[in-house]
Homo-oligomer: A and B are copies of this chain.
Amino acid sequence: MLPAQPNQSLIDGLACLHALAASPAALGSRELARLLEFEPTRTNRLLKTLAHLGLAEQDEKRKYRVGPAIHVLGVESLHTSGFIDRAVEVLKGLDGEHLTVAMGVLWQDVVCYLYHQYPSHTDGGTVRHRPVPASTSGLGLALMAQMSDDELRALYAVRSGAQRDGPTGLLEQVADARRQGYALFAAGGGERTIAIVLGGSLHAAIGVSGIFPDGDIPGLVSDLRSAAAQITETG
């Protein structure tokens, strides 16, 4: 995973960018240096470099925030390789009358939605949903089922340092998902999610959420698998 010779400047520059993206307010360069425990001059140079690239910018108080090029990069990323575009078209056709349809990817312990469509059709496949903790998402469960228990433990050991095995019951839920070939997650309020991972090396999952009787599960799983097959077929 880690290369023989990682580039520390790139790592630290991107740490600055990520801190800006995650901050609810613009950050001063020394403030960011303190936050990340970097030397101030260095931080300023990394930020200025990011600003030169349009990925960051300064506000009228000279504080730094993300810049327009990050949006260009984010949007371009949605269109690269083609699988996401293809998936969006397939998932549009998966619309149930009363279910939310979603697709997402897992990174560390969060799920990031790349497609999310409420039954009301009001969010049109938006990618505007904030990343959520993977353990609170059916898609996250499905994706984590592709990891070994040791990998999961390592993930949560780093992350929270308090719950070695991740949130209570997670390993059992993940084991169920592995056994069944799909994740069934009780989201609360009677709502549940069924999710499966896409094949190949895509590391994405698709799922449907809402209120449905147990008897609907096999059919929904079948629909998801059919959609997954369409998404992953060579294009």
Contact = CB atoms under 8 A, between A and B. Distances in A.
Q: Contact size class for A?
A: 35 or more
A77 to B, nearest CB: 5
A33 interface: no
24 contacts: A3-B44, A6-B48, A6-B49, A7-B45, A10-B14, A10-B49, A18-B73, A21-B77, A22-B76, A66-B77, A69-B107, A70-B73, A70-B74, A71-B77, A72-B131, A74-B77, A75-B112, A75-B128, A75-B131, A78-B127, A121-B122, A122-B124, A124-B124, A126-B126
A4 B48 CA distance: 9
Contacts of A49: 3, 6-7, 10-11
Contacts of A23: 80-81
A196 to B, nearest CB: 17
Interface string A26-51: 10000000000000000011101111
Judged by DSSP, the binding face of A is mixed
Contacts of A159: none
User: Nearest 8 pairs between A and B by C-beta?
Assistant: A74-B74, A124-B124, A3-B48, A10-B13, A9-B9, A68-B105, A68-B107, A21-B76
Given A3-B48, A66-B81, A75-B127, 19 more contacts: A1-B51, A3-B45, A6-B45, A7-B13, A7-B46, A9-B13, A10-B10, A10-B46, A11-B53, A17-B73, A59-B201, A60-B201, A71-B77, A71-B127, A73-B74, A75-B129, A123-B124, A124-B125, A127-B127
Contacts of A3: 44-45, 48-49, 51-52
A2 interface: yes
A165 B110 CA distance: 46
Interface of A: 1-7, 9-11, 13-14, 17-18, 20-26, 44-46, 48-55, 57-60, 65-82, 88, 105-108, 110, 112-114, 121-131, 200-201, 203
Contact of A88 (B53, B73, B114, B128): B128
